[in-house]
Amino acid sequence: MILVTGGAGFIGSNFILAWLRDHDEPVINLDKLTYAGNLENLVAVCEDPRYRFVLGGIGDSELVARLLEATKPRAVVNFAAESHVDRSIRGPANFIQTNISDTFNLIEGVRKHWESLPEQARLDFRFLHVSTDEVFGSLSDAAPAFTETHPYQPNSPYSASKASSDHLVRAYHHTYGLPTLTTHCSNNYGPYHFPEKLIPLMIVNALQGRPLPIYGDGKQVRDWLYVRDHCSAIMTVLSRGKPGETYNIGGNCERTNHEIVVEICALLDQERPKPDGRPYAEQIIYVTDRAGHDRRYAIDATKIRRELGWVPETSFDRGLSETVRWYLEHPEWVSRVQSGAYREWINLHYQKLERQ
């Protein structure tokens, strides 16, 4: 079996759904269920005998040790992280705790477990750490895209904390021989995305008649990656990646923030036109830019294509259309996530249960 940490979040839940669709191998999901962790994302597999959920965080060393000893996974895939730049600017302490200290606790526990395994199991074991292109900093408009050897230049508390965790993973491979894999992805989008990030926020705000706020001049550029393509890339790296290596995962799709919002508005005009026939783009406003806002990210995914044969399959037009349609078809999910009722239910449900 494999152990997934942070598997109730946006990318983690999509990964588990894809894994159980494509594999017979069981998966354990360890998640603390903070504000962006949502077991409702995994309703489709909650009764699947190959799936098991464990409530807890990667910073709980005793829990991690017990879980590893009891289940003996052949791989750990680490999605657990605080990941929102705006939140990191307003409250960096949680990012330092989760992305550095708690990640250290996880990887140290994994190291101890790995060292206790029989020789063949040690050779077969993998620790895959999911990171971000934001650790590389900001690119000028004409600069070449990030490669795996681009220097780290993080510019936000979030990206600095992720860079720190990347360095820990690298050090544990170099010092102890732990068979690690690290991936750097570009901006993900797709189903189950918590509505604080750009694409789901614009969809939800548009439908609610609220303003569509764009930072600064809206010309910040990101490379967009459909979350299901990201999941297939992670599976590829887990299966065929070389221990100690890093792999960039990108969607080959650079768009400005303004272009993204305009495309979302056009799709909503088609899929859910307003009763008065007016365009959603009229709701766009420009707001004061984010502090330290990186201008451009771009991923060079040549290495994963050349060495592992992975390429993204979903065009941006198709992926964005499917994403908009998903949010239109799941208003109850959006409502529960925004209201906080889901988190209240989780607290009530688990407060009397004994921690596993």
CB 247 within 8 Å of CB 306: no
For the chain, the structural domain boundaries read: 2-192+225-252+294-315+340-350
What pLDDT score does 121 carry?
98
CA distances from 133 to 12, 29, 154, 272 (A): 17, 25, 9, 34
Question: Averaging pLDDT over each range in 1-5, 79-83, 85-89, 195-199, which range is the top one?
Answer: 1-5
**Looking at residue 338, what is its pLDDT?**
80
Is pLDDT of 342 > 80?
A: no
User: Which of 60, 82, 134, 263 does the annotation list as catalytic?
Assistant: 134
Q: Residue 353's pLDDT is what? A: 41
Q: Residues 17, 42: contact at Cβ < 8 Å?
A: yes
- Residue 133 a catalytic site member: yes
Contact 220/296 with Cβ under 8 angstroms? yes
Can you give the pLDDT at residue 337? Answer: 86
- pLDDT at position 229, please? 98
Residue with the two structure tokens 């791989």: 75
Cα 1 from Cα 32, distance rounded (Å): 20
3-state helix, strand, coil in the chain (%, to 5): 50, 15, 35
- Per-residue pLDDT, 34: 86
Q: Which two tokens stand for residue 273?
A: 């036109």
Cα 146 to Cα 29: distance, rounded to the nearest angstrom: 31
Q: What percent of the chain has pLDDT over 70?
A: 95
350 is catalytic: no
Q: What pLDDT was estimated at residue 341?
A: 60
Question: Which DSSP symbol is given to 282?
Answer: G
CATH superfamily of 2-192+225-252+294-315+340-350: NAD(P)-binding Rossmann-like Domain (3.40.50.720)
pLDDT 10s digits, 18-69:
999 999 999 999 999 988 889 999 999 999 999 999 999 999 999 999 999 9
Find, among 103, 74, 93, the residue nearest to 5 by Cα. 103
In 244-317, beta strands by DSSP E:
246-249, 254-256, 284-287
* pLDDT at residue 195 in the model: 86
Provide the whole-model pTM: 0.93
Distances (CA, A) of 126 to 7, 21, 293: 17, 21, 35
Which pLDDT tens digit goes with each residue over 260-306?
Answer: 999 999 999 999 999 999 999 999 999 988 888 999 999 999 999 99
Q: Cα separation of 207 and 78, whole Å? A: 34
Average pLDDT, the chain: 94
Kindly indicate the confidence band of residue 356, based on its pLDDT and cuts at 50, 70 and 90: very low
Choose the catalytic residue: 51, 158, 192, 226.
Answer: 158
What is the pLDDT, as a whole number, of residue 212?
96
Six token digits for residue 293: 């806002």
Calculate ∠ Cα 333-323-50, nearest 5°. Answer: 65
Nearest to 146 by CA among 183, 189, 172: 183
Rg of the chain, C-alpha, whole Å: 20
Q: Which of the four pLDDT bands, split at 50, 70 and 90, describes residue 354? A: very low
In this prediction, residue 291 carries a pLDDT of: 86
Query: In percent, how much of the chain has pLDDT > 90?
Result: 87
Average pLDDT for residues 216-245, to the nearest whole number?
Answer: 97
Average pLDDT of the residues in 169-174: 98
pLDDT tens, position by position, 111-160 = 999 999 999 999 999 999 999 999 999 999 999 999 999 999 999 999 99
CB 219 within 8 A of CB 289: no
Task: Check whether 249 has a pLDDT greater than 90.
Answer: yes
Encoded amino acid at 332, one letter: E
CA distance 130 to 5: 10
pLDDT tens per residue across span 74-102: 999 999 998 888 888 888 999 999 999 99
Q: Determine which one of 133, 148, 223, 300 is catalytic.
A: 133
Three-state SS for 137?
coil
At 148 the three-state DSSP class reads coil
pLDDT value for 350: 44
Q: Which amino acid is at 54?
A: V
Q: Is the pLDDT of residue 176 over 50?
A: yes
The yes-or-no answer on residue 119 being catalytic is no
